Structure formats: structure tokens, C-alpha cells
Structure 1
Amino acid sequence: MFGPLAPSHLLTPAEFDDITATNYRGTWLCSRAELTYMIKQEPMKTHDGRPGNRGVIVNVASNLSLVSRSETPAYSASKAAILSMTRSDAVDYAKYNIRVNCVCPGIIDTPMTSEVSPNDPIISVAPMKRKGTPQEVADAVLFLCSSKATFIQGASLSVDGGYVIT
């Protein structure tokens, strides 16, 4: 949930609470339920003999958890909280062989960004100069879930066409 574009002093407490409850608390509730189940299961075998995991969680933060943009205090904070929770959970659940990572998408071609023009600075500043696709985000998530990523823990993978490096 993105919420209204507004600096902190113009954002209402209700708007702030809605955004953080949906993005951060919602992610925490899902993760909490997943972890409770994963701790109880046996590690999964891998196809190539690598150590197996009891499970993998890939949270969805945002490139705005890594860089700033004006008038997004609640959204950016809620996504940064997801990034911090991911890292904390990665430390706490490594002993159970549970991997926890997150992806940080940029502008992705979805209904949420339908009004963002291809010439918008948020797109043109990124080296790839386009919106990403939902499939590109899904591919990043699938990689982090795969046995090709068994030693990746607590990572944040930017899927944003290079936006955060500019």
C-alpha cells in the first residue's frame, strides 16, 4: 500500500497507521505464521547435496527502503521496517536452517504504477529507463527460494533497473 504523497507534517496519523499496518505489520504477521510452521518441519533435500533448508521466506520491501524519495515517509518507513525485520529474522532463524531474504522492487508495471509515465524522472533516472515487469520480480523471488541460493541469508535484492545505484 503506497498511500497519499505527503510530507510527514501533512500525513494524518490514520494514514500513517493504515500504511504501516498493511505493509509492515501485514508482512510480520505472514512471516510469523510461516516461521511457526517451518521450525517444525524437516529440512528439505537439495538436488545436488547442498545443505537443505526447513524453509525460505522472501519478503517484499521496496527500493524506497534503500533510498529516499520526497513525500513518502510512511511508505518508505514501512518498507525499511520490512528490510530490518528480514535481517533480524535471518539472524534469529538461521539456527533452524530457515533462510530469510527480501526483494526490493522499483517501479513495476502494475495497476499501482499505471499513471507513472515512461518519461517520469523516477523511471528515467534508472539506468534501464523502464518499468520492471511482475515476472522479473517473481524471477528474483524464485532465485532466492531455489537451491542455487542456499548460502544467501539476510540479503536484500534490488529489482529496480539500477535505480538505487544512481
Structure 2
Amino acid sequence: MTLFPGVALVTGAASGIGRATALSFAQEGCLKICICDRDAAGLQETAQQISSISKDVEVSIKEVDMLQEDQIVALMDGVVAQWGRVDYAVNAAGVVGNGQRSTSTSAAQFDLTNGVNYRGAWLMSRSELAQMLKQDPLPSHDGRPGNRGAIVNIASQLGVVGRPDAPAYCASKAAVIGMTKCDAIDYSKDNIRVNCVCPGVTATPMTQGDPVFLKKLQPAIDIAPMGRMGTAQEIADACLWLCSSKATFVQGHALVVDGGYVIN
């Protein structure tokens, strides 16, 4: 029996952690997966990779900009019209920020970083919560009481600690952690779980595409006791566990997956 008999929704699914999470849902037997991003070509590639895992998976491709509330509302309406519910939601869409101190950061740059990373995650989570309130729990893998739904927001180790040249980014990810904890309190009585994963430096196109940016990340890699980048699959594994009925008593948690960076 699959741990994921319901409907999964993953934002930021055109690459990186979002793609790895969508593929992992398919690998673990979820047969209804909605993938969302503003990168249409990347979404098509993700969908092809899902199909190579299993032809039985129904994939819904939704091109959406996390800055646009109307697109997020339309996305959720479309998923519910197609499948009637959303059971597992991983909100992985994000940007890295401008990599500058506050005095070198414009208000527009700050607004973009927080608009995607925090406001976009809030808009998406709000829509997911509204739908989950309307649905009954699915059966769990071992007969324990299930949840109405599970949401995982992608924050960052930099929502827990700071680093140089990242005030907008760190603030946006700290906000995601705070939002997650508050929503977990508010919706516990409704049997909906809300958690977040806080990745360390992870090997994705976002972190590896620019050699200058990668060089700036090297000190963070060196600080972590494990001394390496994480993989997108390692972050996806944490997301799927939090979504699964093996985590029915985990609520409002910020799960740090960073090779030990924050403990050093």
C-alpha cells in the first residue's frame, strides 16, 4: 500500500527541490500529482520524467507566478475541479535574493524576494488550507487516524541563522517558519498538519548556475560538519516523510536538513 493514495501538489516543480519532490511522489506510488512553476519548459521536462517512472501517474501541469494571487486561486480551482481534493502540498517555489547588505538592497529587490518566498508561500498555503478544510481524511497506511491534509513549506537553514549579504532572503525564510508555526496552531483543531523543511546548501540549478554565487556559498558548505552540499533528493525525502501518515503527530516543526550547519 502506498503512503500517498491522495493528490499531491508541488510548487517550484520545474527544477531543483520541487522537481525532486514531484518525482519522489511518483516513485512512492502517488498517482495524482499537480506540478506548478512559472517555467513552462521545466514543467514539461518534470512531467516527462514522472511519466518515465510510471505511466499510471496522472500529471497536471500548471504554469503559475507566485506573485500573482489570481493565478494561485485559479491553480487551486483547477486542481479541485480535476481531482476533488489536495492531500499533500509542498510549497517549494523560491528565489535566492540579491546577495547584498541592506544598504545595497533596493526596496524592489526586497519586495521581490519576500514576494515570492514569503507572500507567495502564504498565498499558496492559504489556498491549500481552504481546500483541506472541506475534505475528509484519507485512510492511513496502518489504520491510525489520518489527517485532512499535510502542507510542507520550504524555508531554509537561513531562516534559523543569519549569514552575510542576505538580509532580505533570511527575513523571507524566517517569515516562512513563523507562518508555518502559526498555521499549525490555527489548523490543528481542523486535523490539518503544517510543517516546514529548512534545507542547507543544496545542489540545484539555483545554487550551481553561477560560479561567483557558488564561491560565496563555499564557506557555508565548509562550516557544516558533513562538509558537503545536500542533494535535492535528500530534501525531497524529508518533505515526503512530513506529508506521509507516518508523521501524523508532527506539527509546526521546522525540520533542518543541512548536514549539521546550524549546530556548528
**Which category describes the TM-score, using the shorter chain as reference length?**
over 0.9
Map 1:1-150 → 2, pairs under 5 A: 1-114=95-208, 115=211, 116-117=214-215, 120-150=218-248
Distance 1:47 1:109 in 2: 32
3-state DSSP of counterpart to 2:196:
strand
The TM-score, its normalising length taken from structure 2, stands at 0.61
The Cα of 1:143 is off from its aligned counterpart by 0.6
Distance 1:159 1:62 in 2: 9
Distance 1:24 1:129 in 2: 29
Q: Please tell me the residue identity of whatever aligns with 1:151.
A: F
| Backbone CA RMSD of aligned residues | 1.4
The Cα of 1:111 is off from its aligned counterpart by 1.2
Report 1 or 2 for greater relative contact order, CA contacts < 8 Å, sequence distance ≥ 6.
1
3-state DSSP of counterpart to 1:113:
helix
Deviations 1:96-126 (Å, cap 9, x if unpaired)?
Answer: 1000000000110011111325x92110110
Match of 1:159 in 2: 257
Greater strand share, structure number: 2
Deviations 1:136-161 (Å, cap 9, x if unpaired)?
Answer: 00000001011111000000111111
- What is the count of residue pairs matched by the alignment? 166
Distance 1:70 1:142 in 2: 31
Q: Please tell me the residue identity of whatever aligns with 1:161.
A: G
Distance 1:53 1:102 in 2: 17
Q: Please tell me the residue identity of whatever aligns with 2:136.
A: E
Deviations 1:6-62 (Å, cap 9, x if unpaired)?
Answer: 111111000000100010011001101101110000012112122210000000000
Identity over the aligned pairs, expressed in percent? 59
The TM-score, its normalising length taken from structure 1, stands at 0.96
